[in-house]
Structure 1
Amino acid sequence: MAAESSEVFNIGSSVSCVTCFDEEFQGEVLAFDPHVKLLTLKSASSSGRTSLYDIHMVNLTYAKAVHVLREAAASPLPTLPSLNLSKLSTRAKRSIDEKQRLIEAMQSGVSPIGQKLFLAICKTIEEVKWTGPNILVMGQVVISPPYLLENVREQKEGKEANGKTLSYIKKIVEKFHKDQQSISLNNGTGAAEVLTGTQ
């Protein structure tokens, strides 16, 4: 590699590179990793749109020539935004709880279709848990094996029954089975296998 500098490129410098394929790239240095000799350049978009840029990553090990056109002053790295630790902690706890619920389902012999339905409900409703092989949603609706639409009913001894909640959960279960049916048809699996949970 032919280089005018000591192989350290400051962010913001203008650099011109010729690769081993005789391609020439010129642009502003966005990043440089001296350990793997990877240079990232930003240049005006080849599409002509001023709101876009072309980004080129050049492995300097395979560059024929590198010329610094304009050296940028070394500046301290920008400060990174602080992390919201409470949000991260809540997200981690939720993820751990979800994994534990799935482990419980697998240990109690719940079918794969039941596990998939459980996950589908968890995407829209947080208050979902296993009670043996049954799925309990918001303490009000129970879905029992084989997890079909006719297996969705109100929980009698739970919270006060709410017809809207039951109808909403039924819509989720119905949509889940339609999606599973279309997936199985695309994959060549019979629809009956999906509906009976014997996948």
Structure 2
Amino acid sequence: GSVLKMAGVSECFNIGSIVACKTCYEKEIEGEVLAFDPQTKMLILKCPASSGRPSRNDVHMVNLSMVSDVQVKREATAPLEPPQSLNLQRLNTRVRNQIEEKKRLVTALAAGVSPEGQKLFLTITKTINEATWQGPNIVVWNTVTISPPYTAENVKGPTDSKAYLHIRKVVEKHTKDMAAAEASSRVSGASSPSAQQQTSSSPGPVTATQPALQQQAASN
């Protein structure tokens, strides 16, 4: 009860203050207050990065109804703006979009999307959020479409637009990277005994097809 009462007083959590929390799972979180929403009892803290990189920070969303202890280690001294409320509508929209994207991915798999298409989609979505499936086709920014077999020639859209040119470059680089990876796996595979055995047995079928080729040439 005391925690909730404390959470209802926004002055306890001025932006820029250093706050330490202990969750009901006995996990301790200490960081700088970025935002506080008294309606949802959500406190957002910026903490040093767990990776140790000084240029990065971890951001924790703390539900104060699940906290056993809260202490303000240092109050913010500079004049600050009122705490920002969480944009719940934006968060809900993001969740809905992710659910829709999962549904589209299932639809794409049901439409028989090849592994190449799936790999290209993952490559695109590493840097571009606005990519989705329409059946077996990948649609980026609602303007550029990539259809099977997902090569640069299969990129369709306004050819003079930046979006089209950028996506075409992404597809070209992805295709080269995949070809290089496949070539390196072939080289490593050729050194294995099973691959050598397979290679040595391959002349049989090749010579067997030669009479057929000669016969075809004669008939022409």
Question: Shorter-chain-normalised TM-score: which range?
Answer: 0.3 to 0.5
TM-score, with length taken from structure 2: 0.41
Higher helix share: 2
Q: Which of the pair has the greater relative contact order for Cα pairs under 8 Å at 6+ separation?
A: 1
TM-score, with length taken from structure 1: 0.45
